[in-house]
Structure 1
């Protein structure tokens, strides 16, 4: 029987703490079980292996980001809030870019994420293909900047520019560029 104090949320939160303390390469189910004060087999009721743990962690960060987006009157507002929220979450998470780029999600999770993105953006007037394309572009932009900002040349980059300012300016430019791609007939 699964340990009653374990939930997917508590596992994801403890995994995020471990990731931030020790890094992606040191994150393990054994260490996570010790952190949660349970035996490793108890975790297997919730996560089958390390990839499942990493997928849960990535999903948790994404879902939390979506939950924090305030209602807006325009799709620009939603995408800007999404981009900035994802930037904060990834920037504050050690090895975020690597986690995102190396973790495969189950199709059911991807479908849930897709619906979570489509609902607000289509309600704000975008078609489903426009919404998905724009959200994916923002997400790729954020993950690229995260990888860049957490990479081996971070100190040099920080000495020459404000990474946060450059990110925000780039996000705004990307959003303005979307205006030129929208076909009013679709």
Structure 2
């Protein structure tokens, strides 16, 4: 890859490949640069350090989730689709829970993520503050279940309950509990 083609999107995709193959502890700018066939210093124009790499990777995964949500006529359907997209992405990503919990985002990225998740809910009739609380609750539920599903006690958890079904039931219960309608 020539340096002219080196983009944040390409860097995030290469980082995701390294993460899924080798895990979060082995993810490094050097390994991402090697995957892109460039020298590590070339990445510093786009990503200053590993913390920024983690933030870029988490942001990329999140944006991909949002792009998979179909048009919805009801905020409940949007939240459910959002939760399922996050669940699928996090389960497809090695060490996703650790990545999300460890990737400190710049304020402008957090604001953009907030706007991207709240805007569809506001368009579907929710007040902005309520939309923010609801989407944050769904994110917390998904990340909590992801941490269980990828954590050190995964085998035991899987032996006790069907994780995907339990997550889906929990998501539905959360959305039902957020519904102000009787």
Is TM-score (shorter-chain normalized) higher than 0.5? yes
The yes-or-no answer on 1:115 pairing with 2:76 is no
The within-5 A match list for 1:85-124 is 85-124=85-124
Equivalent in the alignment of 1:160: 160
Equivalent in the alignment of 1:172: 172
* 1:25 to partner: Cα distance: 0.4
SS for the counterpart of 2:90 is: helix
Distance 1:92 1:72 in 2: 24
**Structure that is richer in helix per residue:** 2
Residues 117-142 of structure 1 show CA distances to partners (whole Å, capped at 9, x for unaligned) of: 12111000000000000000000000
CA RMSD of aligned residues (A): 1.3
Distance 1:41 1:93 in 2: 26
Residues 48-80 of structure 1 show CA distances to partners (whole Å, capped at 9, x for unaligned) of: 000000000000000110111001010001100
Is the deviation greater in 133-142 or in 158-167? 158-167
Distance 1:40 1:78 in 2: 40
Distance 1:166 1:115 in 2: 29
* 1:156 to partner: Cα distance: 1.1
* 1:116 to partner: Cα distance: 0.8
Quick check: 2:118–2:135 contact (8 Å CA) kept in 1?
A: no
Residues 137-177 of structure 1 show CA distances to partners (whole Å, capped at 9, x for unaligned) of: 00000000000100111111112211000000000000000
The within-5 A match list for 1:79-90 is 79-90=79-90
Distance 1:170 1:90 in 2: 16
TM-score (norm 1): 0.95
* 1:108 to partner: Cα distance: 0.7
* 1:103 to partner: Cα distance: 1.2
Distance 1:71 1:21 in 2: 33
Equivalent in the alignment of 2:75: 75
